[in-house]
Structure 1
Amino acid sequence: MERPMEVVQIDHTLADIILVDQVERNPLARPWLTLAIDVATRVVLGAYVTFDAPSVLSICLCLDHCVRPKSIRTPSSLEQLYWPTAGIPQAIHVDNGRDFRSDAFRSACAEWGIAIKYRPPGRVHFGGHIERLIGTTMGAVHVLPGTTQSSPKDKGEYDSAARASMTLDEFEDWLQLEICRYHNTRHSGLKRTPLAAWADLGGDDAGRQVVDTDAFRISFLPSERRQLGRTGINLFSIGYWSDAFAPMIGRGAGKVTVKYDPRDMSRIWVVTDDGRTVAARYKDLSRPKVSLWESRRASAIFHDRHGGRISEAILFAIIEEQRRIAHAARQRTLATRLDDERKPRLPNNKPKRDPSREMFAIDTSNPNLPTYPIDDFDGPRRKT
């Protein structure tokens, strides 16, 4: 039998549920779920939920969750739930998806001593544990509001979008509690709970611990090769600088590896020849934080209208204008909904009379009216 942390399986799945936005709570989309399971104990080592399609970032943040101590938000009435496992897997079993074959993923695994084992074609059992975990998790998802079930046949006439009510954060909180419930449920293959198997096999002492978790996360982030010049680095039409660049430029660094987090492009990390990681920020620190998706959308808008490359100033101007339009749209949507709520109360929009719901005087002298027995709750009085 394998030892804890010896073999870990990772995979993605599109969750069988529609989630809502946090502002208007209107239906948005189905989220993607990335899970990592320890084969020996069936303990879930890490999880990551996002609306974005699987990518190197999904793997990065799932592995980041694997090596960090887990913090679970629970209702105040519950005690802190025990979710063990924080360490570096010895080997990772993955499928042959492009994200698992990226240079960033393979180089980071080599850096941290993680062996990669790709699933051979037709050898389904290589990923059997993670697939069963995904199936178990989706079975629990199917009882949530907004579920799409596993097929149109199973869903029937259930209106998933109309019943959707959970945000991404709420779904993530639910998922973590569900994982803790699973950890404490007897597993038929183990003949015990995953947490019991973890304890029996010495899971707490099995994996190598990460001292610098930020360094671990950065190493798995997507990367690009860029020229380091006298004015710094330009990445996706944005300029970056760090005082640490000066000696590197003096030595003629040339092209360097640049790591970035697509969710927040206000900071990047440059990997030096001697393996150090140097953080760099916007050259213009007055710029707001933007995502790579906002940057790409702004660049596409400019290219469609004008062609050519976009300048940094215009890039941020387009992003800020799009944010202003989106904010105004949200405000108009809220105002429209409030107007709709007010309409029945306006003088010109009174609802039609419904006599059946109104009260009228009754002619009690009419002998043909039905009579009803009246219960005497006081009962007979006792003699004193």
Structure 2
Amino acid sequence: MDEKEIVRKRRGAKEANKTFAARPGRLAVGTPLEIVQIDHTLADIILVDHVDRRPLARPYLTVAIDVATRIVLGVFVSFDAPSVLSIALCLDHCVRRKSIHVPGKLEELVWPTSGIPKAIHVDNAQEFHSDAFSSACEDWGIAVEYRPPGATHFGGHIERLIGTAMGAVHVLPGTTQSSAAEKGDYDSEKHAALTLAEFEDWLHLEICRYHNTRHEALGRTPLAAWADLGGDTAGRQVVDVEAFRTSFLPFELRQLGRTGITLFGVHYWSDAFASLVGRGSGKVQVKYDPRDLSQVWVLVNDGRMIPARYRDLSHPRISLWESRRARKEWQDRHGGRINEKALFQVIDAQRRLAEAARQKTRTARLESERETRLPKHQPRRDPSREMFAIDTGNPDLPTYPIEEFDDPRRKN
């Protein structure tokens, strides 16, 4: 049998390509922000919730690296699977000037790298082929290049960076290691200790340490390479970072009418709509942040991006996931389309149920924790053998003399 085929069947196609696939040439980039590679990965660690600090799940990382300097331009951490939102928030991090607070100290570490990439290299994941991502890159003059299917070495720089980051993660409590063999009998859930926010802070500090560590391929630190190659002036800087972030958000096409915009069963209005009603033709783009549907952004025909809020401002903030869950519950129970008032009532009821369940679960866990912490030799409670308060109103009970004494400090 062919040796490559043997390795493929025993260890998988990825391992076979590492050993036998020819890879002539290399990606030569001499200018910062000329090429930025972006990719996602599932972190090798289990995190806990911030309330009860109980094990939750492994987080996803979205990372962007500048090929010329190996600088990490941006990163985004979330429990949600990679999506258009992950890319939007990672790129938003790329174009911002960043600094990291050092826990327990007053000082901050500077992360002095930002700018709009000239080209982005990505894989063929669905989110990188979305209309929101493609149109936003076109608007900002960012070229998008897709790696050939199965050719992971075309994203070698980001793959190596992710491997380095995961190697550092393996020293944290709750790590899952990179394989079952390396994990052994280590109980990841039992040792999990970091929340999502704490893990994100640790990751930012680790990136700052990496930026100041000599890179073998560069012969210097990534920060030194960024400075030597003129990274601060090599690319374009974003003046309105909020407009940049918004442009990468997902969108739906909706008709702008006399009552405003309707999205996911909720009505939105802006006073700027008044002069546009009846003057445009066709539908407009309505961009939204799935985490907070209290505000949307409407791209009208003249190129303006108009923010719009709930038409009824008394409504609370909700997420897209809450909206979907409420609409599904209504559909299962009643059928048909849910109206706006009922939508928020269902979401409020679901929130109350979720909070009540969480409180009950926390109380039960607390009682269980108390039981497990009792010393092994301590007997369990027996109410029949416990002492109780004496009934002082019973005259048949014996009395005891009380000694009286004079207090010299007491005055008549």
TM-score, with normalisation over the residues of structure 1?
A: 0.88
User: Residue 71 of structure 1: which of 76, 83, 99 is its match?
Assistant: 99
Corresponding residue of 2:56: 28
Q: Is the 8 A contact 1:344 1:350 kept in 2?
A: no
Corresponding residue of 1:83: 111
What is the distance in 2 between the residues matched to 1:58 and 1:339?
Answer: 39
* RMSD of equivalent CA atoms: 1.8
Tell me the SS of whatever aligns to 2:296.
strand
Q: Determine whether 1:351 maps to 2:378.
A: yes
- Label 1:344 to 1:294 Cα distance change in 2 as closer, same or farther (>3 A): closer
**For structure 1, which runs of at least 5 residues remain unmatched after alignment?**
354-384
Q: Determine whether 1:101 maps to 2:112.
A: no
User: Residue 169 of structure 2: which of 141, 160, 168 is its match?
Assistant: 141
User: Residue 290 of structure 2: which of 262, 265, 289 is its match?
Assistant: 262
Deviation at 1:333, TM superposition (A): 2.5
What is the distance in 2 between the residues matched to 1:184 and 1:178?
Answer: 10
Per-residue deviation, residues 215-263 of structure 1 (Å, max 9, x unmatched)? 0000000000011111111101111111111111131444110000000
What is the distance in 1 between the residues matched to 2:325 and 2:312?
Answer: 21
What is the distance in 1 between the residues matched to 2:94 and 2:373?
Answer: 55
Q: State the percentage of identical aligned residues.
A: 70
What is the distance in 2 between the residues matched to 1:8 and 1:114?
Answer: 10
Corresponding residue of 2:245: 217
Q: How does 1:223-302 map to 2 (within 5 A)?
A: 223-302=251-330
Structure 1 residue identity aligned to 2:245:
R
Corresponding residue of 2:215: 187
User: Residue 331 of structure 1: which of 359, 364, 367 is its match?
Assistant: 359
What is the distance in 1 between the residues matched to 2:184 and 2:173?
Answer: 15
Deviation at 1:330, TM superposition (A): 2.2
Per-residue deviation, residues 266-291 of structure 1 (Å, max 9, x unmatched)? 00000011111000011110000000
Deviation at 1:155, TM superposition (A): 0.8
Q: Determine whether 1:58 maps to 2:69.
A: no
Tell me the SS of whatever aligns to 2:103.
coil
Corresponding residue of 2:3: none
Q: Is the 8 A contact 1:344 1:351 kept in 2?
A: no
Structure 2 residue identity aligned to 1:44:
V
Corresponding residue of 1:153: 181
Deviation at 1:2, TM superposition (A): 2.1
What is the distance in 1 between the residues matched to 2:339 and 2:41?
Answer: 38
Corresponding residue of 1:166: 194
Per-residue deviation, residues 178-225 of structure 1 (Å, max 9, x unmatched)? 000110111111111111111111111112010000000000000000
Q: Determine whether 1:304 maps to 2:332.
A: yes
What is the distance in 2 between the residues matched to 1:73 and 1:182?
Answer: 16
Structure 2 residue identity aligned to 1:24:
D
Tell me the SS of whatever aligns to 1:57.
helix
* Stretch deviating more after TM superposition (293-302 or 119-128): 119-128
Structure 1 residue identity aligned to 2:379:
K
Tell me the SS of whatever aligns to 1:71.
strand
Deviation at 1:78, TM superposition (A): 6.2
Task: Count residues with an aligned counterpart.
Answer: 351
What is the distance in 2 between the residues matched to 1:238 and 1:34?
Answer: 31
Q: Is the 8 A contact 2:257 2:278 kept in 1?
A: no
User: Residue 7 of structure 1: which of 14, 29, 35 is its match?
Assistant: 35
Deviation at 1:342, TM superposition (A): 5.5
Deviation at 1:176, TM superposition (A): 0.1
What is the distance in 2 between the residues matched to 1:277 and 1:20?
Answer: 38
Deviation at 1:125, TM superposition (A): 2.9
Deviation at 1:295, TM superposition (A): 0.4
What is the distance in 2 between the residues matched to 1:29 and 1:345?
Answer: 26
Q: Is the 8 A contact 1:35 1:47 kept in 2?
A: yes
Tell me the SS of whatever aligns to 1:249.
coil
Corresponding residue of 1:110: 138
Tell me the SS of whatever aligns to 1:289.
coil
Per-residue deviation, residues 56-110 of structure 1 (Å, max 9, x unmatched)? 0000000000001113121243632121211100000001111001110010000
Structure 2 residue identity aligned to 1:351:
Q
Structure 1 residue identity aligned to 2:208:
C
- Label 1:253 to 1:285 Cα distance change in 2 as closer, same or farther (>3 A): farther
Corresponding residue of 1:199: 227
Q: Is the 8 A contact 2:280 2:301 kept in 1?
A: no
Structure 2 residue identity aligned to 1:275:
G
What is the distance in 2 between the residues matched to 1:30 and 1:340?
Answer: 26
* Stretch deviating more after TM superposition (172-181 or 155-164): 155-164
What is the distance in 2 between the residues matched to 1:342 and 1:33?
Answer: 37
TM-score, with normalisation over the residues of structure 2?
A: 0.82
What is the distance in 1 between the residues matched to 2:224 and 2:307?
Answer: 42
Structure 1 residue identity aligned to 2:206:
E
* Stretch deviating more after TM superposition (197-206 or 243-252): 243-252
What is the distance in 1 between the residues matched to 2:66 and 2:337?
Answer: 47
Deviation at 1:343, TM superposition (A): 5.6
**For structure 2, which runs of at least 5 residues remain unmatched after alignment?**
1-28, 381-412
Tell me the SS of whatever aligns to 2:277.
helix
